[in-house]
Structure 1
Amino acid sequence: MKLEIQNIGELVIKHIVLDYNGTIAKDGIVKESVKRYIKELQSEFDIYVITSDTHGSAAKNLEDTGVKLKILTTSNHTKEKEEFVKELGFVFAVGNGSNDSLMLKAAELGICVIENEGASVKSVINADIVCKTIEDAFELLIKPKRIIATLRQ
């Protein structure tokens, strides 16, 4: 996806990187609406879920979605998420926790979602856009003029 944003320039997105708990899942369970959006967006984007897997349920809950799962392994998940996004490049990243803050900053477009778990102030500050729900974040990709309207200067 390529977007031209007034006074900012061209924005190119090839990958979606999603945090798990608090972003696409609640208490370890993926929202059904998320699975529908993933299926819709897979034809245009490579989709990754990056997680500490606090509940140990990510692989099982995502097995029928076709996403690429990245379980964090280092002691610094904030840095590990940031490095993953930088390596991919052209990323639309979505998260809510403190350990998502650098990932959101490094992404081509960082989206902080609030959802039921709330959102870390660090992630809110580092995001390009803040959405109330993950569904609202996915809708930005389906209706990209919303991104242009929000970010133009």
Structure 2
Amino acid sequence: MIKIEIPGINELNIENLVLDYNGTIACNGKVIPGVMEMLQQIKSKVTVYILTADTYGTVKKEFENTGIEVHILKSDNGTLEKCEFVKNLGSEKTISVGNGNNDAAMLKESVLSIAIMGGEGCSFKALANADIVVTNILDALSLVEDPIKIKATLRS
């Protein structure tokens, strides 16, 4: 578990990290360099989930034998499916990270959310529903690893 104390906001007890795949932790279906190593460190503190439509068909191979849970979306409504996934985990104990329209509801539902404005851009809906915005996934994962940075960004 990761405890995050933010002045003016209740203490957060994070048990889950939910990540979009393409445009967030992967580019063209391949995990961005440095991400896997950071996720391996983070998964000792929280359960890490990857949610994806798997556009490139690569996610299972990329995360084979990593101990990180991959969930390939089954419905035609990825927005709703991702949001429901976070609700089922427990919104109050989940951080979500994404960049696309289909991440917006998940970002809003999570107790803490980070939008990535990277090479694929970031949809306005995702941006509007995020608590924090960063320019790359390594910065987002660094926030999760070192919650004092989150405290500094979100304090009242």
TM-score of the pair, normalised by structure 1: 0.97
- Please say if 1:145 is aligned against 2:148: yes
TM-score by structure 2 length? Answer: 0.95
Q: Is the 8 A contact 1:28 1:55 kept in 2?
A: yes
Distance 2:17 2:79 in 1: 17
Tell me how far 1:14 sits from its aligned partner.
Answer: 0.5
| Other structure's SS at 1:39 match | helix
Over the aligned positions, Cα root-mean-square deviation in angstroms equals 0.9
Question: Displacement of 1:32 after TM fit?
Answer: 2.6
Equivalenced residues, count: 153
Is the contact between residue 12 and residue 108 of structure 1 (CA under 8 Å) also seen in structure 2? no
Match of 2:36 in 1: 35
Distance across 1 between alignment mates of 2:45 and 2:104? 25
Tell me which amino acid in the other structure corresponds to 2:135. K
Residue 115 (structure 1) aligns with = 118
In structure 2, runs of 5+ residues without a counterpart are: none
Question: Residue 77 of structure 1 corresponds to which residue in structure 2?
Answer: 78
Letter in 2 for 1:57: T
Structure 1 Cα separation of the partners of residues 126 and 45 of structure 2: 26
Q: Determine the C-alpha separation between the residues in 1 that align with 2:144 and 2:120.
A: 23
| Structure 1 equivalent of residue 48 of structure 2 | 47
